[in-house]
Amino acid sequence: MTSQKEPQEGHSTSTKVTGPSSWSKVSCPCCTSTQIEPLVLIQLAESVQPITKQWIMSVIAAPVKAGGAQLLVHPGEDMKGDMIVVAAPRCTLHRVTEELGLCKTYQDGDMKAFSFEDRDNFCNIDDTQQFLTLAERQFIVKHEMDLMKALEDQRIPGIPAPAGKLKARESILQKLEKAGLIRSITPLHDQERLADLGKQWYSQKSLWGQPLDYIHNYFGGTIAYYFSFLDFYTLSLFPPAILGIFITFFLPSANFSTAIETDSNASSKISDDDHLSVSSYMVQAVFSMLWSTIFMELWKRRSASLSYHWGTFNLAEQFQEPRPGFHGEIGTNPVTGRLEPLFPDWKRKMRMGLVSVPVVGFFLGLVILGMAGFYFCERLVSSWHKESGSYFTAPLLYLPSIAHIVYTNVLGNVYRNVALKLTEAENHREESSFDYHHTTKVLVFTFFNNFAVLFHIAFFKEDMPLLRKRLSSLLIVTQVVGQFTEVVVPFLVDRFLTSANRNLKEDDPEVDHLQAQGSLPAFPGLFAEYIELLVQFGYLSLFSCVYPLTAPLLLLNNLTEIRTDAYKLCKLFNKPFSAPVANLGVWQLAFEVLSFISVISNCWLLLLSPRVKEWTQEAGLSSSQVIVIAVIVEHVLLIVKMILAFIIPDEPDWLQVKREQIEYNSMQALKKQRIKSTRVDGKLQKAKMGE
């Protein structure tokens, strides 16, 4: 029997209760507390009537059995206002912590999956703000609200029939959002801690280090993982950056080949230089290949350690609810036995195979078409100019480039919409599967759009100086443009346009402070940030042997990127919800695929470099012999890469022991529980017989 201590209450009573109205009552006695922390702000549409607001609040406060979320609600200023503030009672927080499978520090100092029954043996269990991070508490509120369900057909009070009709088992929050009753749901900032975090994060003087634990605590899993990865990646850029600088400035022959071409020295000296440059070229290519492999493997270990440290390494698999856009015929889910919309898998596969794949292929074709058109027009225009050269035809020379840039951008934008529509048409049941297919579609196109030109220059034109020029300009231009559009523009908009709303003083009513939080734009998510990193990583691992300064430039970029991303997240957007996660998810795979392609790319770049060609000609090898050698080298390198990936364990040893420990203990506990439950059954029977 576990002894059921009454949890101790009331350490600090910093009453944060807002306005004259009061919080809803708690149903369970153990959770009554004088200190209620507002976690999430729901902003309603202005048209919402008090009766509807009242109903929404009552649903949120209702117990889970009644289809509610068992949370605490507060009407803000008064019942007429357009906001609802939501908090969470201790019971709900603990229950969901167990359901999610979050791990917390046990009394023996190890991380252990939280168990409600065994809660008294976890550290800090009495202080909820210590026990769960702010981001976790806010995520739990959102998670529970997402699960609110109508138990039977009913009407939303104050809303006319078609929009206000709720069917049995329909998700209430989805319905409210679809009907336009909810403008936004945002986790609330804690201004004091935000300022503190900002000081440690982007305002610090030192170039290095981010307060990752603090970020995880305040912003939550997905965001902390992004910044951890950015951190690790930037750190990993040092070795290639140093090598790149060394090759560029201390081995002059590896520099722009034009420099040598214009330099008409004795042939003996060139030959010497050539040998040198070939070897530096090879060093760079092989290094690049090894680096990308080891980087990914070490990141996996780092990621595993983080997930242990943050208690997410044992997350429970959730039987996810259907995502909002999912539709289908109502039927019995074969897994859960519940009535819900069903959509057959073969139909989805048909749509993927017969619609999505061809359409994506079509867009990839358009990219190539654009490229071909660009080269064609360029040749056409330059021949015109040569024939009838005048002041009027000179500006025409820029026309193809401009047209191509416009074309690429338009295509990119159109494709982004098409990818979203296609994935929606595939009608995925789970949010995670939707994200996966959507991301994959965007990724394939982005790869193509960014790298097709470079591959074309490298392997068809075989024009290394052009590749080098193109790469360097791309790196510098995207860096400048990226930083500008990502930060400077939102910063200026924020400063001069929207800040009027935020001229609040400390002594203004709390409600106004809350209101101000809703006024910022919604955080656009990390999609664009990851894509940016991925394209960077592509430039580096695919082509850096041509332009050794890639790594130093990227290092410079990332050191500022960390700061600007942090500033953006803290200041320029609403705080986003962020789920507890254990890894980068689909992005991990994308980086791994890229690092695989890099081996192949580096091999052939090496082969095609003019120096290697000269060198092999001198060595008396026929071109087909050279290619055969390259093929063998490529295959050997791929095998080395696979062996490397295989022998570096994905988890540090200590973590593996911990994991096995946890498995072993839970197995033992299960055995004990079985024995106990049979014994208890026996005792109960005896007790009954004794009555």
Q: Write out the residues near a copy of itself by the rule CB under 8 A.
A: 1-2, 4, 116-117, 316-317, 319, 334-336, 345, 600, 622-624, 626-628, 631, 635, 653, 657, 660-661, 663-664, 667, 673-674, 676-678, 680-681, 683-685, 687, 690-691
Burial string for 275-284 (b: 16+ CB within 10 Å, else e) reads: eebbebbbbb
Cβ distance to a copy of itself smaller for residue 127 or 663:
663
Distance CA 478, CA 486 (A): 11
DSSP 610-669: HHHHHHHHHTT--HHHHHHHHHHHHHHHHHHHHHHHHHS-SS-HHHHHHHHHHHHHHHHH
Cβ distance to a copy of itself smaller for residue 380 or 593:
593
Q: Tell me how far, at minimum, the Cβ of 139 lies from a copy of itself, in Å.
A: 20
* Cβ atoms 678, 331 nearer than 8 A: no
Cβ distance to a copy of itself smaller for residue 269 or 676:
676
Q: Tell me how far, at minimum, the Cβ of 101 lies from a copy of itself, in Å.
A: 10
Cβ distance to a copy of itself smaller for residue 485 or 623:
623
List beta partners, residue 103: 113
Q: Tell me how far, at minimum, the Cβ of 542 lies from a copy of itself, in Å.
A: 15
What is the distance, to the nearest Å, from the Cα of residue 13 to the centroid of all Cα atoms in its chain? 37
Residue 448: enclosing H or E segment and its boundaries?
helix 431-455
Distance CA 338, CA 270 (A): 77
Cβ distance to a copy of itself smaller for residue 216 or 641:
641
Cβ distance to a copy of itself smaller for residue 266 or 687:
687
Strand, coil or helix: 504: coil
Cβ distance to a copy of itself smaller for residue 259 or 643:
643
Q: Tell me how far, at minimum, the Cβ of 461 lies from a copy of itself, in Å.
A: 15
The encoded tokens of residue 552 equal 């130093």
Cβ distance to a copy of itself smaller for residue 190 or 634:
634
Tell me 85's DSSP state: E
What is the distance, to the nearest Å, from the Cα of residue 141 to the centroid of all Cα atoms in its chain? 21
Distance CA 213, CA 308 (A): 12
Q: Tell me how far, at minimum, the Cβ of 476 lies from a copy of itself, in Å.
A: 32
Distance CA 547, CA 673 (A): 63
For 528, what's the count of Cα atoms within 13 Å in the CB-facing half-sphere?
12
Cβ distance to a copy of itself smaller for residue 316 or 394:
316
DSSP 376-391: HHHHHHHHHHHHT--T
Residue 623's CB is within 10 A of a number of other CB atoms, namely: 11
Q: Tell me how far, at minimum, the Cβ of 630 lies from a copy of itself, in Å.
A: 8
E runs forming strands in 139-215: 154-155, 165-166, 182-187
End-to-end CA distance of the chain: 21
Q: Tell me how far, at minimum, the Cβ of 642 lies from a copy of itself, in Å.
A: 10
Cβ distance to a copy of itself smaller for residue 492 or 632:
632
Cβ distance to a copy of itself smaller for residue 510 or 592:
592
**Radius of gyration of the CA atoms of the chain, in A:** 30
DSSP tally for the chain: helices H, then strands E? 25, 10
Cβ distance to a copy of itself smaller for residue 507 or 691:
691
Helix axes 464-483, 527-543, angle to 10 degrees: 160
Q: Tell me how far, at minimum, the Cβ of 93 lies from a copy of itself, in Å.
A: 17
Q: Tell me how far, at minimum, the Cβ of 636 lies from a copy of itself, in Å.
A: 12
* Cβ atoms 53, 46 nearer than 8 A: no
Q: Tell me how far, at minimum, the Cβ of 259 lies from a copy of itself, in Å.
A: 30
Cβ distance to a copy of itself smaller for residue 155 or 674:
674
Q: Tell me how far, at minimum, the Cβ of 65 lies from a copy of itself, in Å.
A: 12
Distance CA 596, CA 602 (A): 10
Q: Tell me how far, at minimum, the Cβ of 1 lies from a copy of itself, in Å.
A: 5
Distance CA 98, CA 112 (A): 11
Cβ distance to a copy of itself smaller for residue 345 or 387:
345
For 530, what's the count of Cα atoms within 13 Å in the CB-facing half-sphere?
22
* Cβ atoms 348, 433 nearer than 8 A: no
Q: Tell me how far, at minimum, the Cβ of 628 lies from a copy of itself, in Å.
A: 6
Q: Tell me how far, at minimum, the Cβ of 420 lies from a copy of itself, in Å.
A: 23
Each as own residue / partner, the long-range contacts of residues 208-211 (CB below 8 Å, 24 or more positions apart, any chain) are 210/562, 210/566
